[in-house]
Amino acid sequence: MGDGGTDIIIKGASVHVNFDGSLYTKDPKDPNHHKHDQRKITRVRVQDEKGEDLLDRSDDKGLKWTITVSTK
């Protein structure tokens, strides 16, 4: 992960979040948040359960996104 790879993975059905905890450290003001102030989102890719792309956007300058995942 890191340096242009897949840094954060969110998988569905059951909830699975995978990220490098040494790269995205806990925010001391809120331990539920992890961050890296010098990194930016350069690609967002969403695939269905068959691995087919539903969305694939990239921009080396950075993308501003909010991804909300609801669970029950």
pLDDT, tens only, 2-53: 455 568 888 888 888 898 888 999 999 998 899 888 999 999 999 999 999 9
Per the DSSP assignment, residues forming a β-bridge with 35 are 25
**Structure tokens, 6:** 């897949």
Host domain of residue 50: 8-58
Instruction: Determine, yes or no, domain membership for 45.
Output: yes
Strands, E assignment, 1-72: 8-11, 16-19, 25-27, 30-35, 43-47, 53-58
**Structure tokens, 24:** 């995205």
Number of domains making up the chain:
1
Record the pTM: 0.74
**pLDDT on residue 53:** 96
Per-residue pLDDT, averaged over 46-65, amounts to 94
**pLDDT on residue 4:** 53
Instruction: Determine, yes or no, domain membership for 33.
Output: yes
